[in-house]
Chain A
């Protein structure tokens, strides 16, 4: 059990080959640490049976089937299978930044995306993926097939682009492209574009009736600005170079960052969007919890709506 959990540390996870395996390790590690199964998607309308897996809620075991076959099956319900999750993974150049000893933001985002894909597919839900930088690079339609995972992972496991992110337009484009309502998961460092522009994009999803989760992935160095000696900062996406004494600038930088994140957080709250700030040195279960909270909210709403 403990072995699984250690894979929630992104640094440890990075030593494991293969995003598929990494995704499984995350989810298994996460699930092993919980008292209750995360697979809550159980409703009234029965759709099919599924074999019991460790961690599943025993309440949903179909005892009739067990009495006949001596095997554990869970009952699954119609509503759940229709749940769609769209993963939007930012693969712009800025996501390639990694401070010393940490995984890059993109890799961290890939962990999250892969783990969520795995989790969603495990729950028999459908998951789609969009990898973008300044425009949509790859687009995979949602599917609930377990084999879909391989495809998802192949797509998301790509190098960061060199171009700048155009977050606002991309979000609008995606909002237009996604048809069925579902959960939209945006994994990005949000470093491009101003807050209003970003929020407008996110609201577009809300407008279309999606639940939205924003995973704001930042490197610890970006959050803490720990530099002491004179440093020449080279913009990854912006062409500027800046030679400065970071100690003198730290306060100003942090204030700017705070202002931005606060604006985003506030905008998200007003639009009923879940905003989850993440650092790449943070265990990955935070992201999963964030997702699951949104999903359950979505489910409850769905129930209410139904």
Chain B
């Protein structure tokens, strides 16, 4: 066995000569075979400790020099004894000396952390060519910069050293840990220079991590190579948000880990995290209204700020920035572990896309100090009311109350309402171009044709809102058959249906007499939790009575199936749901159990009717706006209205790079899809021709990544029992040390066992020898 130091092996030197003896006609090569097995050392300097192995010998010699003298009379017995026992004594001495020397040598070797480095001639377990998979943590927390260097750049530095330290013939893959994970180099590359170049160009994302997906990606990468030996090196800050696994996902992650272990992959985690004292972040930014309409009321922009430190940060400045123009500023104290709300009011004057930002003073992790909101401001909200029960008399028609409530100035010359209402009869529905509208109200519509259902389905796919009122003319069997959406996951759910609930029998408590009416059920606002009725939260009792005093003597029995995603906005006091909402495709569906007019209920006569149906319209239309704001890592997916489908789309990313966006044709509609949202910030989509348009999108980081707390080592060792965890403090890193980080402990565990055995052996031997004295 030859001993070689790693420094001697230069990965840049030309590939090793063929090992075998090659014979060609006319010429022959004899190459010197490399040593079949070599030992490398992670800490070669500690090999000087081997000198300590001479200690027992020195002690022995020293002991022999330090003797006492004794004039002895009974010399003849002593001489006789030594004649008989000399061989045995000498043997015992040598044995003991050997054991002691070995003991010290093993301990010194163990400290030098050796590993086997076979050059392939011996098909042993260690030292064959290795497929090394570098997994760099690409989550936002890796942008945390201490002493002018971000964790990610340190990870790259370490990875660079690791690649340089890798042996010739080792193949390297690079994966970025994230959500979704990114495979930088999938096919294992034996060209280390290329890998290093690729590493140089890497930058962290601002996203969070999907550990499970990353592990399965690593598995795929491992499968791509047939090298027998595999090593996976994670370079991460071990942040809690990245490495935390939900209890219900734990078994899946464990399975993924086991799969890696089945591949015989050696998993090593190098911890690059440092002690983080504090971090502040804007963890939430929201508008009070789902849809902003030009000239509407003041919008309230509310942000929530948080400090993840141990001390209160006093006087932190939070500033509102709209479209790059600095706005008002607030000074707040951020106590640790609490979210502090900050509100700004703003009036959006111009229609079009606006970007609202709330900024904090920058700290060491600047990404989460700003949060953005793309706010498309509409000229007006377009609502289509489909009247299922037309009557020329005022307030006799099904939609008269509704039209008046949504657009109170309709027909007058006052300032225009934010909602423009169009009324159509049931028969006209199929001829309307639904894409033009934001919300469609179906009021007491008896049935819908298949074409109409499909049109509405397409409308929902584009993010439109739908409100369905009940009534006498409505045919429950038709509704249940063609309009009911089904349960998520069922085959029915895949169809074009959209209603959150099945219609049961009509519940009638009678309204002939005042007594009967007094017994009719009222509205239960269920704690005003739903956005539709949230405006009533904290309102005075008499105002609230305008909603809760509504009597409804007739209503459909809405039957929400088990496992539905439907949510109750209002219920009746007898417990049945009155208003249900459910997201469908990208849009939102609201189903009301009673009528839009006063045929079944007193609601249109109550003051609560106009504000609640307006909220209903805005809420239903919110699907259009939510497409503009995504979390980092989530794809941008914006529906294009029909007729405006552009030929091309270019996305300008926050880092200035321009990337083409995908335009997906689906069901007659076009969608813009862009999935490289790995950075936080504003993404500008340039559409056209034929019509040049610009759309703003905002991607925001997950607040989980702002929390600098680190993963608990006990949890980690429970999840990844056979992984090696090591840490790097950021000091100079040698190629050898980096490349062998995974091999540490490979031999030294055995050596330490040997030391233990030798210690026991030495004592036993010493006892056994001493026993006979």
> Do A and B come together as binding partners?
yes
Chain A residues proximal to chain B, CB less than 8 Å: 93-97, 105, 189, 191, 218-219, 222, 227, 229-238, 240, 242-245, 247-253, 255-257, 260
- Contact segment of B65-73, B271-279, B312-320, B408-416: B65-73
Residues in B44-84 with C-beta less than 8 Å from chain A: 63-64, 66-82, 84
A281 CB, nearest partner CB in chain B, Å: 16
Contact B76–A238 (Cβ < 8 Å):
yes
| Docked pose: A189 CA to B772 CA in angstroms | 27
Given contacts A240-B79, A250-B773, 14 further A-B contacts (CB under 8 A): A97-B72, A191-B73, A218-B74, A222-B74, A235-B75, A236-B72, A238-B75, A238-B76, A242-B82, A245-B89, A249-B82, A253-B81, A255-B81, A257-B74
Determine if B85 is an interface residue (Cβ-Cβ < 8 Å). yes
Query: Can you spell out 23 A-B residue pairs with CB atoms less than 8 angstroms apart?
Result: A93-B73, A94-B73, A95-B73, A97-B71, A191-B73, A229-B67, A230-B63, A230-B68, A231-B67, A233-B72, A233-B78, A236-B71, A236-B73, A237-B73, A237-B75, A242-B72, A247-B773, A248-B92, A249-B78, A249-B89, A251-B773, A256-B76, A256-B80
Taking CB atoms, residues of chain B closer than 8 Å to A93 are 73
| Docked pose: A94 CA to B74 CA in angstroms | 8
Determine if B770 is an interface residue (Cβ-Cβ < 8 Å). yes
The residue that A231 contacts in the complex, of B69, B75, B80, B772, with Cβ under 8 A, is B69
Known: A222-B73, A247-B770, A247-B773. A229 touches B78 (CB 8 A): no
Contact A235–B68 (Cβ < 8 Å):
no
Contact A97–B73 (Cβ < 8 Å):
yes
Contact A252–B70 (Cβ < 8 Å):
no
Contact B64–A243 (Cβ < 8 Å):
yes
A31 CB, nearest partner CB in chain B, Å: 33
Contact A230–B66 (Cβ < 8 Å):
yes
Which single residue of chain B is at the shortest CB-CB distance from A239? B75
Contact B85–A240 (Cβ < 8 Å):
no
Chain B residues proximal to chain A, CB less than 8 Å: 63-64, 66-82, 84-85, 89, 92-93, 769-770, 772-773
Contact B773–A260 (Cβ < 8 Å):
no
State the 3 A-B residue pairs at the shortest beta-carbon distance, nearest first.
A252-B81, A235-B75, A94-B73
Contact A256–B77 (Cβ < 8 Å):
yes
Taking CB atoms, residues of chain B closer than 8 Å to A232 are 67-70
Which single residue of chain A is at the shortest CB-CB distance from B66? A230
A14 CB, nearest partner CB in chain B, Å: 19
Which single residue of chain A is at the shortest CB-CB distance from B63? A230
Known: A222-B74, A234-B71, A247-B770. A252 touches B82 (CB 8 A): yes
A125 CB, nearest partner CB in chain B, Å: 33
A55 CB, nearest partner CB in chain B, Å: 37
B131 CB, nearest partner CB in chain A, Å: 57
| Docked pose: A223 CA to B59 CA in angstroms | 31
Taking CB atoms, residues of chain A closer than 8 Å to B773 are 247-248, 250-251
A172 CB, nearest partner CB in chain B, Å: 21
B67 CB, nearest partner CB in chain A, Å: 4
| Docked pose: A240 CA to B73 CA in angstroms | 11
B715 CB, nearest partner CB in chain A, Å: 55
Taking CB atoms, residues of chain B closer than 8 Å to A248 are 85, 89, 92-93, 769, 773
Taking CB atoms, residues of chain B closer than 8 Å to A250 are 773
Contact A243–B67 (Cβ < 8 Å):
yes
| Docked pose: A93 CA to B78 CA in angstroms | 17
B771 CB, nearest partner CB in chain A, Å: 10
| Docked pose: A164 CA to B84 CA in angstroms | 25
Which single residue of chain A is at the shortest CB-CB distance from B769? A248
Taking CB atoms, residues of chain B closer than 8 Å to A253 are 74, 77-78, 81
Contact A236–B75 (Cβ < 8 Å):
yes
| Docked pose: A252 CA to B64 CA in angstroms | 21
Taking CB atoms, residues of chain A closer than 8 Å to B64 are 230, 243
Taking CB atoms, residues of chain B closer than 8 Å to A222 are 73-74
| Docked pose: A222 CA to B76 CA in angstroms | 12
Taking CB atoms, residues of chain A closer than 8 Å to B769 are 248
| Docked pose: A95 CA to B66 CA in angstroms | 28
| Docked pose: A127 CA to B194 CA in angstroms | 113
Which single residue of chain A is at the shortest CB-CB distance from B772? A251
Taking CB atoms, residues of chain B closer than 8 Å to A231 are 67-70
Contact A252–B84 (Cβ < 8 Å):
yes
Taking CB atoms, residues of chain B closer than 8 Å to A238 are 75-76, 79
| Docked pose: A234 CA to B81 CA in angstroms | 15
Known: A229-B67, A248-B89, A251-B773. A191 touches B81 (CB 8 A): no
Query: Which one of B63, B67, B74 has the greatest number of beta carbons of chain A within 10 Å?
Result: B74
Contact A219–B73 (Cβ < 8 Å):
yes
Contact A256–B73 (Cβ < 8 Å):
no
| Docked pose: A207 CA to B92 CA in angstroms | 50
Contact A189–B73 (Cβ < 8 Å):
yes
Taking CB atoms, residues of chain B closer than 8 Å to A189 are 73
Which single residue of chain A is at the shortest CB-CB distance from B92? A248
| Docked pose: A119 CA to B564 CA in angstroms | 125
Taking CB atoms, residues of chain A closer than 8 Å to B770 are 247
Which single residue of chain B is at the shortest CB-CB distance from A253? B81
Taking CB atoms, residues of chain A closer than 8 Å to B68 are 229-232
Contact A227–B70 (Cβ < 8 Å):
yes
The residue that A240 contacts in the complex, of B66, B67, B75, B84, with Cβ under 8 A, is B75
Taking CB atoms, residues of chain A closer than 8 Å to B79 are 238, 240, 242
Taking CB atoms, residues of chain A closer than 8 Å to B63 are 230
| Docked pose: A245 CA to B93 CA in angstroms | 10
The residue that A256 contacts in the complex, of B66, B67, B81, with Cβ under 8 A, is B81
Which single residue of chain B is at the shortest CB-CB distance from A244? B82
B579 CB, nearest partner CB in chain A, Å: 98
Query: Which one of B71, B78, B93, B770 has the greatest number of beta carbons of chain A within 10 Å?
Result: B78
Which single residue of chain A is at the shortest CB-CB distance from B64? A230
| Docked pose: A105 CA to B84 CA in angstroms | 28
| Docked pose: A7 CA to B769 CA in angstroms | 43
| Docked pose: A134 CA to B768 CA in angstroms | 44
Query: Which one of B66, B67, B72, B79 has the greatest number of beta carbons of chain A within 10 Å?
Result: B72
Known: A230-B64, A230-B66. A252 touches B85 (CB 8 A): yes
